[in-house]
Structure formats: structure tokens, C-alpha cells
Amino acid sequence: MSLDEEALRYIEKNGAARVPELYDALKVRNPSITEAEVADLVNRLAEQGKATLDDVAPATRSLGEYLKHWERNLWLYASLTVSVATVLVIYALPSEFPFAVIRWILGSVFVLFIPGYVTVEALFPRSHELDSIERFALSVGLSLALVPLVGLLLNYTPWGIRLTPIVTSLTVLTIGLAMIALAREYRFSSEAGRSKSVSA
């Protein structure tokens, strides 16, 4: 599928999209694409009559509408899904061998990646600030820093370092950081200034 077709499919699916949104969506499958290339693509589609351009004021979308763009918020949905699935697996499945493998896999992702990933999203809410390899490396590094810190803090509480306090603390930390990251991304999206909206 060509870049033009991919852009048109995204526009048709979402009704209309701002150029920065279209750039973020296309960057998922085409990491090397630049903002200038997307701007040229949008102008080309408009000249061919396949899309129309309109000026749109910022902050015209609500948070609910923003959350409907699953491509942009895939990180949020994936992080929360892994967190909730890990909690369910830990407390709902038995700890015998066949089920233990699921616990090991989800638990490893939950401890070694997710806390750092949502932290990176909160610190760098714009997709172009870091590439995917940098985000992955920082996510693992920050998780390896945050999880022991949570354990250290739990050591000085009445609950101590046990399964339930650790799972609860990491879940609360992950959800809290994910909400901060979502708020920052939504704010940057709303404050992007006047931009072009593209519709098919």
C-alpha cells in the first residue's frame, strides 16, 4: 500500500484529521517519514481533489474524541491492558506449571518494561522527540530504576515487600504515570496552534 493510500484510508476512517495527527499515524508504519513529506502529501492529495484542507482552531476536540484515535493512543491501551491482565493472571490463575508460564511472561513485561514505558511517554509526549529504539531502551532502563525504588519504599511501610503490595504499588504507579502522559499528550495536541485539517 502506498503512502497516499495509507493516508487516505486513515482520513476516511477518522472523518477528518489534523496534519500533525496524520503525521503521527503514518509514522507508526513509516518511521523515517518527515513532517515536510506529510505536508507535501497532504497538499498533493488536495491538488488531486482527493482531500480538502480547512483551518482548524486548537482545542476543538474533547478528551473523549482524542481517545477514539486508537493509533495515537495505542501505547495507553496496551500499557493498561498488560497491567490489568497481569493482575488478573496473578490472582485468578493457579500457580501450577502451564499457567505459571503466562504469569512469568506478563509479570516480566509488567515489571521490566511497562513502568518505564509510561514514564518515557510522560517525559517525552511528542512522538518525534525520540525514535522507537530510544524509547525502548529508556523504558527498560527506567523500569530497572523505578521498580527497586518502589520496593525500597515498601520496605519502610507496614506492608513490606510482599506480592500484593508490590503488584498494587506498580499498578497504581503505572496507571498514574499513564494518566500524566495522556494529559500531557492531549495538552500538546490541543495547544499545537492553528493547523490544517484534512478530510476526504
Task: State the DSSP code for 52.
Answer: E
For residue 74, is pLDDT > 90?
Answer: no
Q: How far apart are CA 82 and CA 88, in angstroms?
A: 10
pLDDT at 147: 94
C-alpha cell at 63: 478528551
**Residues in contact with 132: Cβ distance below 8 Å, sequence separation at least 6, in sequence order:** 31
Q: How far apart are CA 50 and CA 159, in angstroms?
A: 61
Query: pLDDT by residue (tens digit) across 137-192?
Result: 999 999 999 999 999 999 999 988 899 999 999 999 999 999 999 988 888 776 65
pLDDT at 199: 54
pLDDT at 193: 41
User: Using an 8 Å Cβ cutoff, are 197 and 53 in contact?
Assistant: yes
Q: What domains are defined for the chain?
A: 3-67+191-199 (1.10.10.10), 75-187 (no CATH)
* 3-class DSSP assignment, residue 124: coil
For residue 197, is pLDDT > 70?
Answer: no
Mean pLDDT for 117-142 is 88
Task: State the DSSP code for 157.
Answer: S
CB-based burial of residue 68 (10 Å sphere; 0-12 exposed, 13-18 middle, 19+ buried)?
Answer: exposed
For residue 57, is pLDDT > 50?
Answer: no
Provide the pLDDT confidence category of residue 122 given band limits of 50, 70 and 90.
Answer: very high
Query: pLDDT by residue (tens digit) across 11-52?
Result: 777 766 777 777 888 888 888 888 888 888 888 877 888 777
Structural Rg of the chain based on CA atoms: 20
